[in-house]
Structure 1
Amino acid sequence: MKLNRKLNAATMAAVAALTLSVPALAQAPTATPTPTPTATAPAPVPGSEITVTAKDGLVKAVEDATKTLAEGKVKEVTIKITTCDDQLLPPEINAKGKITILGCGADLPGGPGTDYRAKRTNLVVGDAQAVNGVMVKSPLAVSGVTARFSGVLFEAHSSLSITNSVFLNKRVEGNRMSRTIKGMLPGGKVEHEIMIDNVSFYHVATLSGETGGAKVTVKNALLHEIPEKDRYMLAFGPSKGESGPVLVENCEFDGHYVKDHASVLYIERPNVTVRNNFFYLDSPSDEGGGIRLMSPAADVGMPLKGVEITGNQFIGPVAIENPAGIPLGKDAVKITGNDFSKAEAVLPTKEKLKDHGTVSPKEAFNAQGNFWGKLPVADVMADTSGALTEAPKVPAMRIVNQLDGETRFETATRISSSTYRSGAKTVILARADNVSDSVSAVPLADELDAPILLTQSTTLHEAVAKEIKRLQPNGGQVILMGGEEALNKAVEEAVVKNGGKVERIAGANRAATAVETAKKLKAMNKQKEFVLVDGADWQPDLIAGPVAAKVEGATLLTNGDQMAPETAAYLKENASVKVTAIGDKAIKTNAAKEMVAGMEPTALSISVANQFFKDVKIIGMATTVDFADALAGGYHIAEKEGPLLLVPTAIPANVTEYLKTNPQIGYINVYGGETRFSEKVIEELGK
């Protein structure tokens, strides 16, 4: 998976200029200092630099660093790891000075646009550390590492700095969200600091727990994916005394499927600035949000005040919310210069607050000088005067998510595994080298909430068999598209042996198979419209798949510009159902009153997107060269109610123009690997 975004010039400059600076080490004293004409770096004090060259050498290096610091000759020790092999973390880091750990990826950037697969030293926690991770009891700086973990990675009781790194969740769906940093810093005095800069977080919480009065900075970070129920990607707990400043700046929050009262950013302490960030929220309801503001009870922490939310862009259901029953103080929150035009709601509203008892929210919230677009703000319980007439110059960011595998089989399983983490009751199996029986499968997959997997005509592919077993460990329904000429008896027997219950959808030809698929949808009361396409050309057929899913209809096929007899008979039986033709050849059959014209696939897919998917926030892209990625990706983007664009290996001008005229698109799913979409193309799409 590759993610990209467009950064503003200042951020790009900062990223380009980013270097790892290790505080200067004390030099050994000399009797007579002699100046030299050429400046040279001071020689390190013996023991102040430790090199790790072998696997599992970090624990010993930390022990040696701790002993060196205990001698009092230096205040910091740097551990340089020259190997990218796994390194076990010690259960505790408690030294009389600062320890800096530089992994093998110290010169690689982190944050948005990062390739998480790049080589970095991988940190591993022991079994006994699985819950609480590493106890950080003295200042620690970490850079150039990655970690795939469950539970907590760092439990911070002291200052902690993390840069140029990547962290991923090790647990399967349904388990508690992993936390990179669990803040356990004491309150009442600003004496510690947490710094996160150029770091990517995939499926893990960045920071949670009480950060006390510590100064906290989170910048140039990517926070990607799903917070659990009542949990948060980034949380600042209450402070009981003096509170240092908190800054969240130039970050990208991809809160995919935020729901069940979860939010991506939680604030329960004063003096927090949230500036120039991009919030992409894809939620099925208004029970998830971007920023949640909570004022703690008097015996828990200091009241919420000095919170400033400025220069951010919000895409999705709920931008800012305050559901607490504890009132905020006067002028607690300043919200200004934000772009809310692509948000579906901004709280607090009268409706949302009626049962919560928040006192005088208009005094607590100052929401002057924001861009609201067409969003109704009459019900927003805040001062919304001075609205901007055009969107502020918030950094334009777009996430590009590339779902790929080594072959078409692995690409399809990758799409499946990214979507169905907890399994699927039904799986649709299609032939990988011929699309004829499968072009009508996308609306069926959408209705059944089923992935489409690809296999050989005569063999159940090993990767596919493994994915079916993961999706259905106790067996389930597997629908085979087409007769035994498409997927023969050996494939069916392998599915049954794997625990599946087989159903076939097949007709005498591709048009008849499409009719049989439509009949199955009709039985589920999902035949509200027909989308008619040329069955001899896979490109308009797969462009039409997400359309048929969106209108709760079925895809039917023609024989070029002539009506297929099976299709004609079925249309006659269902004469009251609306028919839309997509593509010039289907139009020539004169069977539809509504139509989208075009022969060239990219232009046709854009026309379809403009007509059926207005103001869409997410789109899919697949190659024009081959059908496999478009078939596997079609149900994936249909499930998200987005269009599928078919594009060549280089991005044509009409696609660039489409993205330019639809700036609300904040997420592109790209189906297929580097042979279809190069790194350069991915970067171009993210601009």
Structure 2
Amino acid sequence: MRKLPTLFLTALFTFSSVLPVLASTDTSTISPIINRMAGQDRYETSSTIAEQGWPNGSTNCILAFGGNFTDSLAAVPLAKKFDAPILLTESTTLPAITKKTLTDLKTKNVTIIGGTGVISDAIDTELQAMGITTNRIYGYDKYETAIAVAKQVTTSPTMLFVCTSDDFTDALSISPVAAIKQDPIILVSQDSIPESVKNYISANNGIVKTYVIGDSDEISDSVANQFPNYERIAGNDSYSTNIAVNNQFAGVFGPKVTTVASGEQFSDALSGSALASKIAAPIILINNSPADVTRSYYQDRIANGLNGDSNVTPTVDIFGGTVVIPDSVISGLGQGKAGVSHLSPVSVTTSIGIAPVLPSSVTATMMDGTTKTVNVTWPIIESSRYLSAGSFCVTGTIAESTVVKPIATVEVMHENPDPILTVDQIQQDILGTWTTSDGKYTLNFENDGTLEVTQENTGYTTNYKTKYSFPNSTLIKITNSSWTEEDNFVLIGKYLEIYNMGVPHITGNNIITGTSAYTGYLNNPTSFSTSTNPVNFIFTKTN
């Protein structure tokens, strides 16, 4: 008989934000570096973005029509693949500033997005006269053009981003994410899917996930349901959808740089998204009166960029001039409702088998230096996480920030005290119903020494009654008229583990026989102790 160690748990929860808590940092005195990329018009702005974003030049360049967004919404992932800026052109004439920028960047290859009805052959001719090789990606309409671009991004798509073709904000919100992940952007109308899109889906069996960007007023549920395993990301309007997208994919962005563009016109955000994907930054779309959700996200990004270090200053890249995005709007993003800088540490202890009680609130230090109590929402902690030695973290959420989060670091400590339960105590504590986590096996211990064992099988249930007793505080004896078995066990709170228990034998299921036949027969429903024996049964008290 092996000795069973009794483990006790001491958990120390340390709650903090994503940021280290440094008392010397006063976030109220730190402002981000503002870097505005702008020109006299959209063509010069796109050129400025290209010059700053690709200071060492770029062999490749994407050329999009500056007059409207119809063909260019899906272009950013392709720009990322080619490590190329997106420049803008007129329909029949290459703007002088665009031509100059191509020369400055020493561009050798230009990919034109759209057919000759949008960007004429004259542009090809002009580019080729400059010694530049041209390639045109286009389709019969905007949907086919997006599919043609998607095929150039990847030949084996596993994820799709689906956006409305009727507006640019949702597509440009997701563009940096799609580009970083190298997944295509697909366009649809509100109530129908073009044949070109249907054919693309049917031809790519490897698609396992689809993100539909925007609410059902933009893309109906009937359309969304035709995409594999879809999930919708939407807000109350295009600006809250933009923030919802950035929050959903926060993990793909670096902390130091945030980009901002107007959500009222497409051109600056299009060229800016290419740079945002290059530097792994989110793009925030704004108007002249940014909503609270936009300001809060902006302030969270600045706080996260500080990383608790007053010697580090985050950067904000603004795409567009002061007519499009006034300086007052940018300064206003950092005002009003103050963002959260960091959260105060809190410690809690618990015992093995007892779920830790996490605090319902913590103290938050705001970016303006004030403090306030904020409520915390914690996820449900699986019981298996605090039933064995080791450490794990639990991340909660607060309504005041989508970036700064409380994190509980749990340390589970080894202890080996003498058993504290007597046989009399065990006989009382074990009474009732116990069930494995998969629901397959149930034990009912009755006061008269009867043990009822139930096994749920496919299509039928097996039930068997026998007798039980406790020779000592670590051994359970199970007996009927023809056989007896003795099994080691440990009982702590609402958790019971029985070692080498022959449940299939008890319930009359003679699939296997022999004294060691149970080895390898059944996987543990959960991990209760340090034992690795594959036939240990772990039960939780249910009644």
Q: Any idea what the Cα deviations from partners look like across 1:41-74, whole Å, max 9, x if unmatched?
A: xxxxxxxxxxxxxxxxxxxxxxxxxxxxxxxxxx
Tell me if the contact between 1:533 and 1:541 (Cα under 8 Å) persists in the aligned partners.
yes
CA contact 2:299–2:334 (8 Å) conserved in 1: no
Are 1:597 and 2:234 matched, yes or no? yes
| Alignment-derived partner of residue 648 in structure 1 | 287
Q: Which has the higher contact order (CA 8 A, sep 6+)?
A: 2
| 2:133 is the counterpart of 1:485 | no
* 1:443–1:545 Cα contact (<8 Å) kept: yes
TM-score (norm 2): 0.53
Query: What's the offset of the Cα at 1:513?
Result: 0.7
SS of corresponding position for 2:71: coil
Structure 2 equivalent of residue 442 of structure 1: 76
Distance 1:636 1:660 in 2: 21
What TM-score does the superposition give when structure 1 sets the normalisation length?
0.42
Cα distance between partner residues in 1 of 2:291 and 2:18: 31
Conserved in 1, the CA contact under 8 Å of 2:36 and 2:319?
yes
SS at match of 1:421: coil
SS in 2 for 1:440: coil
**Which of the numbers 100, 109, 116 marks the counterpart of 1:466?**
100
Q: What is residue 613 of structure 1 aligned with on the other side?
A: 250
Task: Quote the offset at 1:661 in angstroms.
Answer: 3.7
Q: Is the 8 A contact 2:239 2:286 kept in 1?
A: yes
Code of the residue aligned with 1:485 in structure 2: it is G
Cα distance in 1 between the residues matched to 2:280 and 2:318: 15
Checking the alignment, whether the CA contact within 8 Å between 1:557 and 1:564 is kept in structure 2 is: no
- In structure 1, what is the equivalent of residue 272 of structure 2? 633
Distance 1:654 1:636 in 2: 24
Measured in 2, the distance between the counterparts of 1:673 and 1:448 equals 27
Asked if structure 1 preserves the Cα contact closer than 8 Å seen for 2:234 and 2:241, the reply is: yes
| Alignment correspondent of 1:673 | 321
1:356-392 CA distances to partner (integer Å, 9 max, x unpaired)? xxxxxxxxxxxxxxx99668xxxxxxxxxxx957674
Deviation at 1:561, TM superposition (A): 3.2
Asked if the contact 2:263–2:285 (Cα under 8 Å) also holds between the matched residues in 1, the reply is yes
Distance 1:396 1:466, change over 3 A: same
Query: Structure 1 pair 374/432, CA: closer, same or farther in 2 (3 Å)?
Result: closer
CA offsets, 1:278-299, max 9 Å, x none? xxxxxxxxxxxxxxxxxxxxxx
- Could you tell me which residue of structure 2 aligns to residue 398 of structure 1? 32
Whole-Å separation in 2 of the counterparts to 1:532 and 1:542: 12
Whether contact under 8 Å (1:581, 1:587) holds in the other structure is no
Q: Quote the offset at 1:404 in angstroms.
A: 0.6
| Unaligned stretches of 5+ residues in structure 2 | 1-14, 306-313, 336-543
- Report how far residue 549 of structure 1 moved: 1.2
- Asked if the contact 2:44/2:97 (under 8 Å) is kept, the reply is yes
**Aligned pair partner of 1:557 in 145, 168, 187:** 187
Q: Which residue of 2 aligns with 1:5?
A: none
Aligned-CA RMSD value: 2.3
Partner of 2:331: helix, strand, or coil?
A: helix
Name the counterpart of 2:141.
Answer: 509
Query: Distance in 2 between the 1:488 and 1:388 partners?
Result: 58
Secondary structure of the equivalent of 1:533? Answer: strand
Residue of structure 2 in register with 1:548 after alignment: 178
Question: How many Å separate the matches in 2 of 1:576 and 1:594?
Answer: 17
Are the counterparts in 1 of residues 18 and 304 from structure 2 also a CA contact under 8 Å?
no
1:141-220 alignment to 2 at 5 Å?
Answer: none
Residue 453 (structure 1) aligned with residue 87 (structure 2): yes
**What per-residue deviation string (whole Å, max 9, x for no partner) do you get for residues 130-163 of structure 1?**
xxxxxxxxxxxxxxxxxxxxxxxxxxxxxxxxxx
CA distance, structure 1, for counterparts of residue 127 and residue 73 of structure 2: 22
Aligned-partner Cα distance in 2 for 1:373–1:650: 29
For structure 1, which runs of at least 5 residues remain unmatched after alignment?
1-370, 376-386
State the Cα distance separating 1:536 from its structure 2 match.
Answer: 1.7
Amino acid in the other structure paired with 1:494: E
Aligned sequence identity (%) = 28
Paired residue secondary structure (1:594): strand
Distance 1:453 1:391, change over 3 A: same
SS in 1 for 2:191: coil
After the TM superposition, which residues 13-52 of structure 1 pair with which residues of structure 2 at under 5 Å, given as runs?
none
Q: Which residue of 1 aligns with 2:528?
A: none
Task: Give the residue type in structure 2 aligned to 1:407.
Answer: D
Which structure is larger by alpha-carbon Rg, 1 or 2? 2
CA contact (8 A) 1:529 1:552 kept: no
Deviation per CA, 1:405-445, whole angstroms, max 9, x where unpaired? 10000000000000111211111100000111111000110
Secondary structure of the equivalent of 2:192?
coil
Q: What count of residue pairs does the alignment treat as equivalent?
A: 302
